[in-house]
């Protein structure tokens, strides 16, 4: 499964979240760290959804950049 993620740079760290999975987020000191942590967070989040007997949300977010 493939999910869109958003990574935001803070003053001292990076934060990432998944628009299609509410409450799924991660924070890391580097881009590589936050990318790895958000992958782990997604896996953990999906396992919890399955354990609760709920339906896994489909990825519906679209990521694009616009030039202005």
* Residues 5-57: tens digit of each pLDDT: 999 999 999 999 999 999 999 999 999 999 999 999 999 999 999 999 999 99
The answer to whether residue 34 sits within a structural domain is yes
> How far, rounded to the nearest angstrom, does the alpha carbon of residue 66 sit from its chain's CA centroid?
21
pLDDT in tens, 48-68: 999 999 999 999 999 999 999
Local confidence band at 1 (pLDDT 50, 70, 90 cut-offs): confident
Number of domains in the chain: 1
Q: Rounded to two decimals, what is the model's pTM?
A: 0.90
The answer to whether residue 36 sits within a structural domain is yes
The answer to whether residue 65 sits within a structural domain is no
The answer to whether residue 61 sits within a structural domain is no
> How far, rounded to the nearest angstrom, does the alpha carbon of residue 16 sit from its chain's CA centroid?
6
The answer to whether residue 63 sits within a structural domain is no
The answer to whether residue 58 sits within a structural domain is no
Domain range spanning residue 37? Answer: 6-51
The answer to whether residue 57 sits within a structural domain is no
Task: Name all contacts of 16-25 with Cβ < 8 Å and 24+ positions apart.
Answer: 18/42, 18/45, 19/61, 20/57, 20/58, 20/59, 20/60, 20/61, 21/45, 21/46, 21/57
What's residue 59's pLDDT? Answer: 94
């Amino acid at each position: 499964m493939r999910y869109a993620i958003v990574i935001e740079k803070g003053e001292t760290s990076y934060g990432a979240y998944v628009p299609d999975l509410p409450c799924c987020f991660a924070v890391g000191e580097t881009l590589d760290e936050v990318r790895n942590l958000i992958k782990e967070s997604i896996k953990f989040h999906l396992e919890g959804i399955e354990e609760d007997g709920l339906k896994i949300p489909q990825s519906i977010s679209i990521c694009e950049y616009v030039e202005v």
